[in-house]
Structure 1
Amino acid sequence: MARGVRSHCGSRMPYSPRNACRSDVRAIPWMLWTIWKNRNSLLYAEVQEFTSMLVHRALEESTLWNELNKVEQRDNQISNDLGVPGKWVPPAPGLVKCNVHANWRNDRYLTGGAWITKYHRGDVGVHARNALIPSPDRLSAEMNCLLWVLRSLRDLRLETISIGFAVIAFEVESRGSNKVATEIAKSVLRDGRLQSYLALGGPSWLHDLIQTEVALVDS
């Protein structure tokens, strides 16, 4: 791995934190994850890739993630400038709030989509996750995700949310107030969870985060 990193940096010096390229240092977690996946492929599918390809893919995914992270930081700044709450805000009694997130990387990847409904006390109704078709840009991905969400809510006969029914309201949410939907959507591409599903309540692996938001409502 060190040889691959030195080659990418264009330096013949021994690898160390002082002379390593910043982008390559940030790529180390992706390299470890790629090596782990390649190990599993070798053990279970008897497929072995060249080291150079593994390093190239890890560097590419790291660069992509860092670029997306810059976009998220900029989005957070815009949300703060607009005065959008940084924490989840409950809906009015009698309404159901649906948090939505589309996780878009580029026009070659699937888009991770997720939504979760909550009532005014913070308790979860249902949530869903899906791997949506690739979209040419972030806006198209978000619109495709929104259409999927509205169709799902309509099929569930949630009459206080779905378009064309009794009531619908769209709210601007900050990253901090939309954490649950964001984490579910990101799990599609991050963890390779491409199987779509719909389930009552929230996902067990986000139980603590959901309970934190419930506590905020009760406080």
Structure 2
Amino acid sequence: MEASTFNQERRQAIPWILWTIWKNRNSLLYAETQESPSLLVQRTQEEAALWNKLNKAESNGGQVQADMGMPKYWFPPTQGMIKCNLHASWRSDKQFIGVAWITRNHRGDVCMHARDALVPTSDKLAAEMECLLWVLRSLRDLRIEDASIGTESQKLIDAIKTPARWPRYRCLLRQIETVCLEFTVIEFEVESRESNKVVRKISTSVLRDGQLRSYLALGGPAWLHDLIQTEVIGEL
């Protein structure tokens, strides 16, 4: 990666080349198919060049400014929308992921909440994507058509808006895009830790207390009643 004798584009493409070799190996072993090595290298270099080009435009100052603009308290959706806050509690690639969501209307009244344990993932962002998929499918099955999704993960929202920058998660992002098309209105909001406390506490209880059985319930959990009441911006 640091060898100056090779041009920068080739050095930057090394992670993509390694990932492509791994995928090609699996295709050969399990599907008995193999693409031309020259085509694989060309495609890999194109993806790496695109990713580096798009991310080069981002500045650290812009990210800090965005973080400073996060809401300190939970904010209700517009009338007619349902806001769904979610959180994925990820520890390692060998442990289950604790996930939870909670929905509220424009008055801040809790509609439903759910909790579950998902299979391990390679990293935190993948866990957040799996959690979002679970949430979107749950809302769809409950026939909620207009939803605002609140998450603490700026990376998750960036990946949804610009999937070309995140080729490693292409499969998950395509699934998310497909489910989003089933909603009449779907929005995404960045939450701070302070404005996402309720659902964070529910998701962390999955691994902390060994609550691996999934459930869906009306209203909010009784043990978080006081926090739910104080989290609504209109009551602070």
- TM normalised by structure 1 equals 0.62
Instruction: Say whether residues 1:105 and 2:62 are aligned partners.
Output: no
In structure 1, the gaps of 5 or more residues are 1-76
Q: How does 1:178-193 map to 2 (within 5 A)?
A: 178-193=196-211
In structure 2, the gaps of 5 or more residues are 1-62, 148-178
The letter for the 2-side match of 1:106 is: S
Would you say how many aligned residue pairs link Structure 1 and Structure 2? 142
Distance 1:128 1:184, change over 3 A: same
Which residue among 132, 136, 140 is the counterpart of 1:150? 136
Residue of structure 2 in register with 1:196 after alignment: 214
Tell me how far apart the structure 2 counterparts of residues 158 and 79 of structure 1 sit (CA, whole Å): 33
Deviation at 1:196, TM superposition (A): 0.3
Tell me how far apart the structure 2 counterparts of residues 199 and 217 of structure 1 sit (CA, whole Å): 24
Q: How does 1:1-219 map to 2 (within 5 A)?
A: 81-161=67-147, 163=180, 164-214=182-232, 216-218=233-235
Moved over 6 A (4+): none
The 8 Å contact of residues 86 and 199 in structure 2, kept in 1 or not, is answered as yes
> Larger strand proportion, structure 1 or 2?
2
The 8 Å contact of residues 96 and 207 in structure 2, kept in 1 or not, is answered as yes
Deviation at 1:218, TM superposition (A): 4.3
What secondary structure does 1:122 align onto?
A: coil
The 8 Å contact of residues 116 and 206 in structure 2, kept in 1 or not, is answered as yes
Tell me how far apart the structure 2 counterparts of residues 129 and 176 of structure 1 sit (CA, whole Å): 20
Deviation at 1:79, TM superposition (A): 8.3
The letter for the 1-side match of 2:210 is: G
Tell me how far apart the structure 1 counterparts of residues 225 and 65 of structure 2 sit (CA, whole Å): 26
Identity rate, percent: 63
Distance 1:95 1:128, change over 3 A: same
The letter for the 2-side match of 1:171 is: E
What secondary structure does 2:188 align onto?
A: coil
The 8 Å contact of residues 229 and 235 in structure 2, kept in 1 or not, is answered as no
Tell me how far apart the structure 1 counterparts of residues 69 and 91 of structure 2 sit (CA, whole Å): 27
What secondary structure does 1:207 align onto?
A: helix
What secondary structure does 1:143 align onto?
A: helix
- Larger relative contact order (CA 8 Å, sep ≥ 6): 2
